[in-house]
Amino acid sequence: MPLLTIHHTTEYRYARPVAFGEHRVMLRPRDGHDLRMLAGQLEISPEPMSLRWIHDVFGNSVAIATFDERATTLTFSSTATVEHNPTEEFALTPQDRAYFYPFLYEDEEFPDLVHFITPQYGDPDGELSFWARGFLDAEGPTPTFNILAGMTHGIRAGFAYRKRHAHGTQHPLDTLQSGTGTCRDFALLMIEALRRLGIAARFVSGYLFVHGDRAHGYVGGGSTHAWVQVYLPAAGWIEFDPTNGIVGSRDLVRVAVARDPQQAIPLHGTYIGGADEFLGMDVSISVVSAGDPVDPPRNDNLRFS
């Protein structure tokens, strides 16, 4: 079971000392049978007046910090060591109810999945639905794995990764029409497409482990990463990363799951001051095997209006 250490530092910079509102920090890896948190530390400067931990509506760990002093910088530094035991790719047999599409969810599961099946974004001309149906076999039922793997690899091959400095996640139709986006954009596109097929899907925020033999093939891991979980009867929640064509949890470290990307923002907060006082945000992230030297940090110099 490989051990990984995640170093994540975010620093906000201001032209003059400003006051800070509440900040919500969602950086702690999400424990499970394939991912176990062994050690973690969160350092914040200036030191917050209070720091409390909660579980949100999805069971994600969230730290909430409040402040009582002004400063020209605000820094969050998180270090976590996890035991990562990637699951094998799921395997369904023809006897499983989800082996072929379409399939039905169990009556007792459906009420808990309905919000992950219901589309959240508009598709007035049916473009997204048409694109999603393109992964179905023209004749007869389609093996469900073929749909999921086909969409994962189809986005990887057919769309261009483009880092955006604008805030938020773009509408799935914008991603579909432009053929470009970030990992969060690609995840949302796949989620909304699957929901239009009646397949339960949710958003995952976390980290991408880019080790030596894959360093030049993966994209989207310069900051936090995002991908998709799909729920199938008999298989449960399965990971799919359309940005890198990954099926299963290999090289993916979960932090949070959510119905919508806006519910899984790694770090979010406010400051009290003029818009011109905000100079920028520096992010450095490294995910390495425990005991290995820390890679040179990946820096994103982001500006938001």
**Domain map of the chain by residue range?**
3-84+264-302, 100-259
pLDDT at 293: 56
- For residues 78-102, give the mean pLDDT: 88
pLDDT tens digits, residue range 234-279? 899 999 999 999 998 889 999 999 999 999 999 999 999 998 999 9
Cβ(220)–Cβ(275) below 8 Å: no
Q: Which of 246, 291, 214, 296 is nearest to 3 (CA)?
A: 291
Give the pLDDT of residue 303.
26
Write down the pLDDT at residue 165.
67
Backbone angles phi, psi at 83, to 5 degrees: -95, 115
* CATH 2.60.40.2250 is the classification of domain 3-84+264-302: yes
Q: How does DSSP assign 73-128, residue by residue?
A: EEEEEEEEEEEE-PPPPP---TTSTTSEES----TTTHHHHHHHHS--S--TTSHH
pLDDT, position 89: 67
Kindly indicate whether the domain formed by 100-259 is annotated with CATH number 3.40.1010.10.
no
Segment 199-208 mean pLDDT: 97
Grouping H, G, I as helix, E, B as strand and the rest as coil, residue 147 is helix
pLDDT confidence of 291, banded at 50, 70, 90?
A: low
Query: At residue 184, does pLDDT exceed 60?
Result: yes
294-300 average pLDDT score: 44
Token pair recorded at residue 253: 């470290």
pLDDT of res. 136? 97
* Secondary structure letter of residue 178 according to DSSP: H
- Please list, in sequence order, all residues whose beta carbon lies within 8 angstroms of the beta carbon of residue 288, skipping any fewer than 6 positions away: 4, 5, 7, 294, 295
Residue 146 CA to residue 160 CA, distance in Å, equals 22
6-58 pLDDT, tens digit per residue, is 999 999 999 999 999 999 999 999 999 999 999 999 999 999 999 999 999 99
| pLDDT recorded at residue 183 | 95
Q: What is the pTM of this model?
A: 0.92
- Region 216-239: mean pLDDT is 87
Reduced to 3 states (helix: H, G, I; strand: E, B; else coil), residue 243 is coil
Strands (DSSP E) found in the chain:
3-25, 35-45, 50-55, 61-66, 71-84, 100-101, 142-143, 160-161, 180-181, 201-208, 225-232, 236-241, 246-247, 252-258, 267-272, 278-289, 298-302
Whether pLDDT at 201 is above 60: yes
